[in-house]
Chain A
Amino acid sequence: MKNRDKNISAMSTPAIAEGGKTGDWRDMRPVVDQKKCIPSVKGKAACYLCWLYCPEGVVKAAIPVKIDLDYCKGCGICAEECPAQAITMIKEVDDNG
């Protein structure tokens, strides 16, 4: 049995996962084609428009670019903004993706 919150009014702390893993809200998932993604192709830190535009901050500006699917809500902004069209949105098949 997990501990129950003893607070008498509603509150949350500024922490990752405070609201639970919200990636299960997602209907579409972003898939990165590393053969097209500019940092992967050039082998150096470049572009990162997906990282810049992601409203959830779940894109890691690394080589290769990584998207944290625990929290990505599948808005598709990264796919829309990618100048190399390296990101495709594909439909989630099961409930949790």
Chain B
Amino acid sequence: MDNVQIMTGNTAAAIAAKLCNIQVVAAYPITPQTSLTETLSQFIESGELKAEYVRVESEHSALTVCISASTVGARVFTSTSSHGLLYMHEQLHWAAGSRLPIVMCCVNRGVGAPWSIFNDQQDSVAQRDTGWIQIYCRDNQEILDSVIQAYRIAEEVYAPVMVCYDGFVLSHTMMPVSIPDQKAVNSFLPPYKPHTVLSVENPYNINPVIFPWLRENAEGIICDGYMEMRYKLQKALDCAREVIVAAGKKYAKIIGRNYEEMLWHYKTDDAEIILTGMGSIATEATAAVDQLRKEGVKAGVAGIRVFRPFPVNDVRKAFSKAQTIIVLEKDISYGYEGALCSDIKAALYGTGINVPVHNFIAGLGGRDVKVREIFEAVQQSLQEIAAGKESNKTIWLNCRK
């Protein structure tokens, strides 16, 4: 029987990490992530979770501890938000370059200046190019399910995974969440087999200086140069799509909820207007779609679940019949447009899909995104497009100009 409990997104993430039998946690509290690490620390303190909680003085150190623990073969977890994630930036590259299957929750929050503790996705989107797999969650159930799947993906691809979910909107909002049985999680998630274990018996120098060219070592083996290392990481993330889909299918089989697609779909079968986005804003868009359909607009939502590796072919398929694309996002690449919008346009380039793309920048720094606002803005966009005005446009939603 399903064990359904009412809980916040942060509790769901903590329970998921516990179900994965994590062995080391190193995290530094930051709003809105704090209650996640507090819950984990309670699990460890009470003996419910047999793991080491390493208290650190900063996020940079938190991820460094995770990197070290993962290198000696432990399954590790960390989490952060906003400035904490930015402070980790250097170590994000080290984790990916060392090919360590670290799982981290990024509880999305806006970035200063000026200070904001509220939600947007500028923090994790700004870390797009660090070599981490990024998964975005729609609701608290997805947070729990994504963390569990993240370990399987990470440990197969040997790349770190960031599970991103919206601060407060999900992290502090109570929803019913079905908790899988420990035995089911154990059978879904095999034990972690490190690609290399640093040990006294088998001493290695991990991540020495790598020269631009190939190197012959003392045993006469040709070792990679820097570019070969980077190429291997790129190939790993290219191949990660299959691993992610396979993990989603296996999760469906063992646990019962289906995650076999890189994108999720809502009323897209006959949709002419397709809305897209990552995380809770895309959930909000489904409600706007319902309203649009009442007005006779054939709209649907294709939500991006995995942002890196970018699901190029899935995006092409999802938008193949669209006549208009609306990209809603809580981030902005200053001087251009939303990062997701650029990626979607790039994926469609040369495919013959050449339809108007309107980019809604919304909810920055926690500004509420209401269903009615999306509904009205889409209608406005459709009118402008019908009137032959700018086909591609960035629109700041609900922002006084």
Binding site for B on A (CB under 8 A): 2-5, 7-20
CB distance from A85 to the nearest CB of B (A): 35
28 residue pairs A–B, Cβ–Cβ below 8 Å: A2-B221, A5-B217, A5-B221, A5-B223, A7-B195, A7-B196, A7-B224, A8-B236, A9-B98, A9-B195, A9-B196, A10-B206, A10-B208, A11-B205, A12-B204, A12-B208, A12-B223, A13-B218, A14-B203, A14-B205, A15-B218, A15-B219, A17-B217, A17-B218, A18-B217, A19-B208, A19-B215, A20-B216
Residues of A close to B97: CB separation below 8 A:
9-10
Residue of B nearest to A14 (CB): B203
- In the complex, A19→B218 CA distance in Å? 7
Is B207 an interface position by the 8 A CB rule?
A: yes
Residue of B nearest to A13 (CB): B204
Q: Are B204 and A4 in contact (CB under 8 A)?
A: no
Residues of A close to B224: CB separation below 8 A:
4-5, 7, 10
* Other-chain residue from B195, B203, B229 in contact with A10 (beta carbon distance below 8 A): B229
CB distance from A10 to the nearest CB of B (A): 5
- In the complex, A3→B222 CA distance in Å? 6
- In the complex, A17→B215 CA distance in Å? 11
- In the complex, A15→B223 CA distance in Å? 14
Residues of A close to B158: CB separation below 8 A:
8
CB distance from B226 to the nearest CB of A (A): 8
| Total number of residue pairs linking A and B with CB closer than 8 Å | 71
CB distance from A9 to the nearest CB of B (A): 5
- In the complex, A82→B99 CA distance in Å? 48
Is B232 an interface position by the 8 A CB rule?
A: yes
CB distance from B71 to the nearest CB of A (A): 9
Q: Are B232 and A8 in contact (CB under 8 A)?
A: yes
Ranked 9 nearest A-B pairs via Cβ: A15-B218, A5-B223, A17-B218, A12-B205, A12-B208, A9-B99, A11-B204, A18-B218, A8-B99
Residue of A nearest to B216 (CB): A20
Residue of A nearest to B225 (CB): A10
Residues of A close to B195: CB separation below 8 A:
7-9
CB distance from B343 to the nearest CB of A (A): 26
Q: Are A10 and B232 in contact (CB under 8 A)?
A: no
- In the complex, A45→B99 CA distance in Å? 51
Residue of B nearest to A4 (CB): B222
- In the complex, A27→B236 CA distance in Å? 41
Residues of A close to B203: CB separation below 8 A:
13-14
Residues of B close to A10: CB separation below 8 A:
97, 206-208, 210, 223-224, 229
